[in-house]
Structure 1
């Protein structure tokens, strides 16, 4: 069912906005709407515009809270925004010097890391770097060259070049090394190396000793910086841990007030007199919460609440909040997949729960495999709280029931006597029964459509719709005639046939002009009459065809009941049951495979019947979900 909604308007002084949101909107389920659009008929309304004072401070508090290992304060206590701001700013001031030390140390660490990475490839070059840097008549170049060009260089260029190349290291992509060249020939030699894509590396003058010695000294300095970083980080962590409860509470307070501030986008403001400014919030609340909030605010002088009946109009559309019994609630998932019911629509959840489980049981009637589905779904729902698991469990229960009706347990058809019938021995009975069951469901869907039309106060939908009274009368007459023909009885008199066939079809054919006539429109007949008759004729033909196809579609219920028995017959044949020495492993694996595969296929087919053969007749699913601010 759909919970009854009330339209709620909350007003009070603008300065009291945050208090009201914290106390009442975070206590009751209220679906808020944009006040400016909902109250468009009210004059002198303006947007609630202010600069958010919590946004920047919230970002700072997030940085602090991320460094705290615990996620909840050890004790709960309330805090005002000013107190939260003071705690955050005071903590940041305490950490200011330590943060600067961290920044400086990280810069030094990064610098030494660059020095380590720069000198590391040249560690095998056993010569003092300072001496190389002071050479006068010989030029040197540190760098790297790709393997492709290094091979070409070694084969074709190096022997004829007035240069000495010292290979230091190599990896998958490059060869690292140093080349020396006489100063007089450096320009020419540098150009040759550049043409071979030699990438030069300028070493820093901070290195001392050989590359290996320089590498170790720089590495030691970097490790020393890392130890200092760890010490500063520990000091910061100690301060944050000491103030963890206060910081976490302050952060939570800022989140609340920041969210409350965003709520101003949905509010409107109005003036009373010259100075006093009032806010207006409006939205939807359930009947139960409406009574509670009225009682709760009776003694609050700074808040005024007006409750109105929730009625759907052109500008106002109440949200939908489903409320079903626990056994039906998992099936809300299927309803939401199709679309939530509009506020004035019937909630089809209980209808889906009963028909889905029933049809699944008819199509998948096996007491043993049904037990597996029921137990597996129940356990999965208990530990994972998955709605689909509860649906599987419910479907499994009905499979057990029809398994006993069919006399089928784990594919064995002769262990127990069928209470009703055995599908494989009563094929026509199963198929005709499934069609008859489908006819009953289609009629129920039509009746539900008529009820929806009454709730919407649309007479044309009730009387002239293909799924309204006209369609229902025609369908019942058609089914009655088919039943009489199949049983060899005579048809009703011609006058009755004209009444029950002709009049409903004419009403459906002229639905549009009749609807205009009822609504008292000036031109109830379309301007292009020829086009109207052509379109109406083909639409009526499509309607008649849909009655036939929808009815025949329910044959799949019986067909799947037969196919299950046939598939399990194949499993028994493969297991050698007829020989008297069955293979237990084949039987177990076959049952598990059929339960999983056919259970999935049947589940999808039943859902198709629900959506296309039944929902399409009475249900639109155009509702909007009830989303209380409290849950945000």
Structure 2
């Protein structure tokens, strides 16, 4: 069901807006519309522009709250704005000092990490680095050279160059160092540069000992820094945990105050007699608006008008679904397709009943149905997964039809079928011979559902005053008469009873089809619109004829689509028959229970998924397409009851 909405225009002195929001509006769900857009005809209207004073404070407190862990059981208490500011200032000061130390440690850590990166390729070097760096007559160059150039260097250059190259490590590069006399330095450096040698500059006054010793010392320093950083982070965490309740309370309070303040974004201002007034426009449920009006009736500073004439409202009402708890999970399927328009029927209950019923028929098994029911409701209860409730409900219907079909965990002869066995039951159809009963029932049931959706279409058309939709459309009264006659004739034929007189059938079939074909000109005549036929008349009749042909095909295809209900009921029994055969249950010998259990789990998971999708396809394509548009606008409360307590007026 869709809750009835009322459009409210709320006005008062500009300086009084915070009191109204905190004292009244925060108690109710109100979908606010932009007042500037709604009141475009009002003169001297201007937007309400004011900077949110809580924004910076909320940003800081959100940073603190984001670092808290295990906040589920932290109590939220009343806290005033006068308490929040000192709390943020003290936390800022303490955390800033710790963060400053963390930054220094992080810089030091980055420097040591870079040194380790430089030292690591030279771990095989046996000599102390400080001695190598400080040779008196020989220069040492550390670096790396690509492997392919190193091979060329060794083959063509090295023997003729006054240098010694000592390789230390090889990956994509050859890491090492070369020695060169001062007098040959420029020549040798130039040759190595031509071989793409990349130098690494070591800190002369920093590296002492062998690379291995230095590597160990740097790792030790790195571990010490990591311990200090962890200590700093723990200090911050302990500091925040000590004030966790105050932080979360401040966050809740600031969220409420900030959200309430942001009402100004959709408000408008107008000046009257030297005083400026605010205007707020929005939608409330009929129940909330009644309570709101009663609460403010003695408030001299607040004036509210409830608009009943929809012609004076520039926006369509939002849609707020309200269904019994048992049907509420199925709202998920409605929202997937699109929310119903405010003036449309809410199909949630219809979907809940038809989806569960059809699923049960297609997947009728007592044991597997119980598994789905238990698993689905457990998932919904402990994990709050909406789909779990849908699976659980569908499982109940599967269990019911399992008894009707006499099937339990694939065993077809353990219990008696209360109705029929899908694989075995046959019906004599005049002119067609023997047909599977479940197929015949599925088609008849599908025809019934199509008739119901046509009625829904007519109701929606009446609500929107759509003349063509009420009388002349393929899903209107004409379509209902045509398809209803077809359904009754099919039932009479199947039961062996005589059909109505031929002339009656011709009238009931032909007249609605002619009206459907000529729906546009007839609608124009009824609504007194001109021209009656737009464009070329011969082309109109040709186009209308082919459209009528397409409509007839759609009726046929939609009806035959429901055969899948019976097909899956039969295929489920057939699949479980295969499982039983593999397990040896059909031969009368010892049963392999591992195959029985595994087969049941496989069929339950795979076929359950496929059937769930197929039923949803029937809902969307064969039923929704006839009556449902799903163009509604979601009801979004601007103030989502973020006020857990009443805050005093801080502004």
Deviation by residue 1:524-579 (Cα, 9 ceiling, x = unmatched) = 33232222212211111111222222222222222222222333333333333343
Deviation by residue 1:468-507 (Cα, 9 ceiling, x = unmatched) = 1111111122333444555666553454234322321222
Tell whether 2:507 aligns with 1:506.
no
**Could you tell me how far apart the structure 2 residues matched to 1:208 and 1:579 are?**
83
Aligned partner of residue 474 in structure 2, secondary structure: coil
CA-CA distance at 1:187 after TM superposition: 1.4
- Which residue of structure 2 lines up, in the alignment, with residue 528 of structure 1? 536
**Could you tell me how far apart the structure 1 residues matched to 2:341 and 2:253 are?**
37
Deviation by residue 1:194-222 (Cα, 9 ceiling, x = unmatched) = 12221112233432644557667777777
Moved more, 258-267 or 346-355: 258-267
**Could you tell me how far apart the structure 2 residues matched to 1:404 and 1:375 are?**
17
Report the CA distance shift for 1:76/1:487 in structure 2 as closer, same or farther (over 3 A): closer
- Which residue of structure 1 lines up, in the alignment, with residue 429 of structure 2? none
Report the CA distance shift for 1:334/1:65 in structure 2 as closer, same or farther (over 3 A): closer
Gaps of 5+ in 1: none
Residues 317-328 of structure 1 aligned to structure 2 (within 5 Å):
317-328=316-327
- Which residue of structure 2 lines up, in the alignment, with residue 76 of structure 1? 77
**Could you tell me how far apart the structure 2 residues matched to 1:221 and 1:486 are?**
91
Tell whether 2:156 aligns with 1:192.
no
- Which residue of structure 2 lines up, in the alignment, with residue 30 of structure 1? 30
CA-CA distance at 1:315 after TM superposition: 3.2
- Which residue of structure 2 lines up, in the alignment, with residue 598 of structure 1? 607
Residues 546-561 of structure 1 aligned to structure 2 (within 5 Å):
546-561=554-569
- Which residue of structure 1 lines up, in the alignment, with residue 11 of structure 2? 11
CA-CA distance at 1:418 after TM superposition: 2.5
Q: 2:477 aligns with which of 469, 479, 490?
A: 469
**Could you tell me how far apart the structure 2 residues matched to 1:355 and 1:398 are?**
11
Aligned partner of residue 26 in structure 1, secondary structure: helix
**Could you tell me how far apart the structure 2 residues matched to 1:155 and 1:163 are?**
14
Q: 1:609 aligns with which of 602, 618, 628?
A: 618
Residues 365-384 of structure 1 aligned to structure 2 (within 5 Å):
365-384=364-383
Q: How many residues align?
A: 629
Q: Do the aligned partners of 2:259 and 2:639 also contact (CA within 8 Å) in 1?
A: no
**Could you tell me how far apart the structure 2 residues matched to 1:372 and 1:67 are?**
41
Report the CA distance shift for 1:164/1:284 in structure 2 as closer, same or farther (over 3 A): same
Gaps of 5+ in 2: 427-434, 643-651
Q: Do the aligned partners of 1:125 and 1:211 also contact (CA within 8 Å) in 2?
A: yes
Moved more, 518-527 or 54-63: 54-63
**Could you tell me how far apart the structure 2 residues matched to 1:240 and 1:560 are?**
58
Aligned partner of residue 419 in structure 2, secondary structure: coil
Tell whether 2:523 aligns with 1:515.
yes
Q: Do the aligned partners of 1:25 and 1:629 also contact (CA within 8 Å) in 2?
A: no
Moved more, 264-273 or 331-340: 264-273
Aligned partner of residue 424 in structure 1, secondary structure: coil
CA-CA distance at 1:344 after TM superposition: 1.0
- Which residue of structure 2 lines up, in the alignment, with residue 21 of structure 1? 21
Q: Do the aligned partners of 2:355 and 2:619 also contact (CA within 8 Å) in 1?
A: yes
Residues 259-338 of structure 1 aligned to structure 2 (within 5 Å):
259-274=259-274, 276-309=275-308, 311=310, 315-338=314-337
**Could you tell me how far apart the structure 2 residues matched to 1:326 and 1:349 are?**
11
- Which residue of structure 2 lines up, in the alignment, with residue 340 of structure 1? 339
CA-CA distance at 1:193 after TM superposition: 0.9
**Could you tell me how far apart the structure 2 residues matched to 1:395 and 1:555 are?**
20
Q: Do the aligned partners of 1:575 and 1:584 also contact (CA within 8 Å) in 2?
A: yes
**Could you tell me how far apart the structure 1 residues matched to 2:422 and 2:86 are?**
77
Residues 353-392 of structure 1 aligned to structure 2 (within 5 Å):
353-392=352-391
Report the CA distance shift for 1:231/1:159 in structure 2 as closer, same or farther (over 3 A): same
Aligned partner of residue 322 in structure 1, secondary structure: coil
Q: 2:447 aligns with which of 410, 435, 439?
A: 439
- Which residue of structure 1 lines up, in the alignment, with residue 628 of structure 2? 619
- Which residue of structure 1 lines up, in the alignment, with residue 169 of structure 2? 170
Report the CA distance shift for 1:600/1:111 in structure 2 as closer, same or farther (over 3 A): closer
Moved more, 465-474 or 140-149: 140-149
TM-score between the two structures when normalised by the length of structure 2: 0.86
Q: 1:568 aligns with which of 561, 576, 584?
A: 576
Report the CA distance shift for 1:582/1:10 in structure 2 as closer, same or farther (over 3 A): farther
Report the CA distance shift for 1:303/1:410 in structure 2 as closer, same or farther (over 3 A): same
CA-CA distance at 1:68 after TM superposition: 5.4
Q: 1:497 aligns with which of 490, 505, 519?
A: 505
**Could you tell me how far apart the structure 1 residues matched to 2:10 and 2:267 are?**
10
Moved more, 130-139 or 610-619: 130-139
Moved more, 184-193 or 595-604: 595-604
CA-CA distance at 1:584 after TM superposition: 3.9
CA-CA distance at 1:464 after TM superposition: 0.9
**Could you tell me how far apart the structure 1 residues matched to 2:226 and 2:497 are?**
99
Aligned partner of residue 356 in structure 2, secondary structure: helix
**Could you tell me how far apart the structure 2 residues matched to 1:220 and 1:326 are?**
62
